Structure 1
Amino acid sequence: MYYSTDFEMKIALQELTITSTILERDVICTLLMPEDGAVAEPLNLLLLNDGQELENLKMVDTLENLYERNCINPLLTVAIHAGEDRIQEYGIAGKPDFKKRGAKADLYTQFIKTELLPFITDHTGMDHFETTAFAGFSLGGLTAMDIAWNNPELFDKVGAFSASFWWRSKDLIKGYTDDDRLMHSMLKSTIGKPELKFWLQTGTKDETADRNKNGIIDSIDDTIDVIKELLAKGYERPADIQYLEVLGGTHDTETWGKAMPKFLQWAFGK
């Protein structure tokens, strides 16, 4: 059935600043929601790393388009802008990489749990969301995966766009093996199986690096290996794991923005 309507869903943007005691800085967050009065159903929540990239991701256009086509349920997106210390705040909590990057990832995790989520509850008056997802790009995707994996009581779903699953404890020239990849090791060593669902994306032109010279770029290899670890835990495809490989996709907001509708429909679709 095709029908036209005069009703147009507009997205309202609100920029808020949280003074974080934990990170010792002001954190800017952009909140995106359907305009007042448009939401009657239960609300969903998406936390998004690198929220400063909203415009480049064309996030507002994507959301309005999905609402107009009645593809997704009502959603509050909280886009967390990265600070100057992004390379230290993002990563895997408590496990900096071989260059000691990600040294504040544990603090960023604490910020999300003890400052941001309570702030969202206070600001919206809502202490329960139908589905809560955490997503990010590149290093922000690794971070979203780490935080959700270790806090499954807070999150239901993860979106990892071209995630930095190469993050490693040993330099390539210092006797590196695939066992030195920090995310894969963490997944393997976790006892039990967190209640989560995963959406992973790579682009065939994410990079040119190919550590093991198998003709497949590391971005894809590392992501496929994450999927293998998840399958070994007992997660199933496609029920628990979705993987999108974008032909010609590059490591940038243009590719991630084009992949975003697929993620949003997977996470919050009707």
Structure 2
Amino acid sequence: MADPLLASHAEPSTVTIQRDDSLFSVPLKRTVHLDIVLPPGYATSGVTYPVLYLNDGQDLARLRMENVLDSLYEKKAIQPFVLVAIHAGDRIQEYGTAAQADYMHRGSKAGLYTDFVLTELLPYIKNHYRISTDPAKSAFAGFSLGGLSAFDIVFHHPDRFSRAGVFSGSFWWRSKSTEDGYRDETDRIMHDLVRKGVYSPNLKFWFETGTDDETSDRNNNGVIDSIDDTLDLISELVRKGYRRDENGQPHDIRYVEIVGGQHNQKTWSQIMPDFLTWAFPKHN
């Protein structure tokens, strides 16, 4: 029979979630609430861990993230990592592309949010948790507008991150309205930023869309915009020099399209294991 005293001091076999409300952001002018998800064994291991920064961190429960992680760790399907879940503030203004707001001036604080991530969040996490600052061990992910934000940050800062995860990304983000003569070829902001950007050999990208993400089909080609916009962005990355997975072989870009997948946390939770085993494979 197991010694109950020893059992009470045993290292937990599940993840530990800590609420951290200590970080006040100067550019954002608010306290940024964080949920820090520590892997099993963190307290006594003494090792430094890879890290995943996640936008819309307030949705951990709706994503069933604790259950997803516990299952993956039990199966030994991923390497242990620290998850930094960043609670959103004014997400319509703070998420977007740092270079410019969209045609309705949404994303006006995206540059400030990027500044927060680079100059405040990363140093804070490094000082308070045992995480690696090696870009090869740092990933950023998000959902919808948060996915657009995560991609923008990773693409433009390969010195800090190596992997981006985008669930149902808002790549429709555009500089003109349809009434003002919007064109796919020139007016999608992130696509244009990729065209103007540089190739970074260390970057890798994971994208997910669902066939029921939305119903909009602005060019009437029978494919919903979220899929079109994501595939067009992937094409821009390929032209830039990144390689898409092919014939079962992993390269720089993985794209997952879910039949019946919707624009919600239930779908994103279901595909989360695919992203996490891609971002933090056990053999690394």
> So what's the TM-score if we normalise by structure 2?
0.89
Alpha-carbon contact 2:54-2:140 (below 8 Å) kept: yes
Cα distance in 1, alignment partners of residues 205 and 46 from structure 2: 28
1:194 Cα deviation after fit: 5.5
**SS state at 1:187 partner:** helix
Alpha-carbon contact 2:158-2:200 (below 8 Å) kept: no
Alpha-carbon contact 2:198-2:240 (below 8 Å) kept: no
User: Is residue 173 of structure 1 aligned with residue 179 of structure 2?
Assistant: yes
Cα distance in 2, alignment partners of residues 62 and 152 from structure 1: 28
Alignment partner, residue 251 of structure 1: 263
Alignment partner, residue 182 of structure 1: 189
Alpha-carbon contact 2:34-2:87 (below 8 Å) kept: yes
Aligned length: 264
How many percent identity over aligned positions? Answer: 50
Cα distance in 1, alignment partners of residues 153 and 268 from structure 2: 20
Q: Runs of 4 or more off by more than 6 Å in structure 1?
A: none
Listed one character per residue, the Cα deviations across residues 88-133 of structure 1 (whole Å, up to 9, x for unaligned) are 0000003100000000000000000000000001101545356100
Q: Given residue 123 of structure 1, which amino acid in structure 2 is its aligned partner?
A: H
Alignment partner, residue 15 of structure 2: 11
Gaps in structure 2 of 5+ consecutive residues: 1-9, 246-250
User: Is residue 218 of structure 1 aligned with residue 230 of structure 2?
Assistant: no
1:8 Cα deviation after fit: 6.8
Listed one character per residue, the Cα deviations across residues 22-62 of structure 1 (whole Å, up to 9, x for unaligned) are 10001000000124446466511000000000000000000
Alpha-carbon contact 2:199-2:241 (below 8 Å) kept: no
1:267 Cα deviation after fit: 0.4
User: Is residue 48 of structure 1 aligned with residue 93 of structure 2?
Assistant: no
> So what's the TM-score if we normalise by structure 1?
0.94
Flag the structure with larger Rg. 2
Cα distance in 2, alignment partners of residues 214 and 253 from structure 1: 27
Gaps in structure 1 of 5+ consecutive residues: 1-5
Q: CA RMSD in A?
A: 1.7
Cα distance in 2, alignment partners of residues 122 and 16 from structure 1: 13
Alignment partner, residue 196 of structure 1: 203
Q: Given residue 16 of structure 2, which amino acid in structure 1 is its aligned partner?
A: A
Q: Given residue 272 of structure 2, which amino acid in structure 1 is its aligned partner?
A: M
Cα distance in 1, alignment partners of residues 125 and 236 from structure 2: 33
1:195 Cα deviation after fit: 2.6
Cα distance in 1, alignment partners of residues 50 and 25 from structure 2: 24
